């Protein structure tokens, strides 16, 4: 538990750093973030994923008796500490996308393991648009509203991290406002009769429920936008999993899907 306390302290004593620049090698902020990223690597071996959802099989994880859930606490603490970091951590996280070491597992319709590199991708994305996962789901169209895709049909869809690379000089707070404005525009015109359900096999929401969730989302996004505008600071989520994903393998988690 001492390691848990150390990681939490790192998250809370983060010093203010220039959001527009990339930290130099000897920058104290870089050293701190690098140390916390190292804690994303679990001391457990990756559990075996059984089955393949792409072949129509149940894809599930069952932890072996040797898997120590207490060893996952520093991993979770590191994720929370990184989400609380300054904007400079986004670039440092992006330098670790190729780290294949095991970090944690996810229970969903098709269970999967998350590498350190994938965890860094998730965290960097959440630092920019994590509020997406705090919203009620009315349609799969609400995801990917921001950033706008290139008009060139030969280019791959633009991710929020691609957008950050080109516009990091704006800082995360201003990029968040852009994302919120795009999402507000979507929700204000979203119609239950034309919007697709969240999943191809799911039914459309009834109009009353669709409108209730849509209005809740507009209210939440408006409040977040006001906070950013009033403070000039990035909105910081503590969500590290997607809408239909659940952390799995921590002492306080259990199976929520495919029980």
- pLDDT (average), residues 202-226: 95
Q: Which of 35-44, 54-63, 239-248 has the lowest mean pLDDT?
A: 239-248
Mean pLDDT over each residue of the chain, to the nearest integer? 88
Strands 246-248 and 60-61: unpaired
State yes or no: pLDDT of 185 exceeds 70.
yes
Phi-psi region of 152 (alpha: psi -120 to 50; beta: other; left: phi over 0): beta
Domain boundaries, the chain: 2-248
Question: What's the mean pLDDT in 78-99?
Answer: 96
Q: Which pLDDT band holds residue 25 (cuts at 50, 70, 90)?
A: low
Token couple for 145: 């509203």
Whether residue 72 is predicted with pLDDT greater than 90 in this model: the reply is yes
Please give the biggest Cα pair distance in the chain: 56
pLDDT digits (tens, 9 = 90+) for 128-138: 999 999 999 99
What integer is the mean pLDDT of 35-49? 97
Give dist(CA 199, CA 140) in Å, integer.
7
Question: Do residues 72 and 149 lie in contact, with contact meaning Cβ atoms separated by under 8 Å?
Answer: no
Name 247's bridge partners.
106
Picking from 123, 76, 71, the residue whose alpha carbon sits closest to that of residue 97 is 123
Q: Note the Cα 98 to chain centre separation in Å.
A: 17
Tally the residues of the chain: 259
What pLDDT sits at residue 128?
96
Contact yes or no for 218/187 (Cβ under 8 A): yes
For the chain, the straight-line distance linking the first and the last C-alpha, in angstroms and rounded, comes to 30
Predicted local confidence at residue 150, as pLDDT: 60
* Pairwise pLDDT comparison (212 vs 25), residue with the higher score: 212
Q: Is the pLDDT of residue 9 over 50?
A: no
């Amino acid at each position: 538990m001492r390691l848990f306390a150390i990681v939490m302290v790192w998250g809370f004593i983060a010093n203010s750093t220039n959001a527009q620049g990339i930290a130099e090698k000897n920058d104290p902020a870089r050293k701190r973030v690098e140390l916390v990223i190292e804690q994303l690597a679990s001391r457990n071996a990756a559990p075996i994923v059984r089955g393949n959802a792409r072949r129509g099989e149940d894809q599930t994880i069952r932890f072996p008796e040797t898997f120590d859930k207490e060893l996952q606490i520093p991993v979770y603490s590191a994720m929370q500490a990184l989400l609380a970091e300054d904007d400079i951590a986004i670039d440092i996280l992006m330098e670790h996308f190729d780290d294949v070491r095991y970090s944690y597992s996810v229970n969903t319709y098709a269970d999967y393991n998350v590498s350190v590199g994938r965890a860094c991708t998730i965290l960097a994305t959440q630092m920019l648009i994590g509020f997406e996962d705090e919203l009620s789901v009315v349609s799969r169209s609400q995801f990917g509203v921001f950033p706008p895709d290139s008009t060139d049909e030969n280019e791959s869809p633009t991710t929020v991290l691609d957008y950050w690379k080109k516009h990091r000089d704006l800082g995360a707070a201003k990029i968040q406002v852009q994302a919120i404005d795009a999402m507000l525009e979507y929700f204000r015109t979203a119609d239950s009769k034309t919007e697709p359900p969240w999943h191809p096999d799911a039914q459309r929401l009834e109009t009353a429920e669709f409108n209730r969730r849509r209005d809740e989302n507009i209210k939440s996004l408006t409040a977040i936008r006001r906070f950013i505008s009033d403070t000039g600071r990035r909105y910081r989520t503590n969500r590290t999993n997607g809408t239909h994903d659940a952390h799995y393998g921590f002492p306080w988690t259990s199976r929520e899907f495919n029980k």
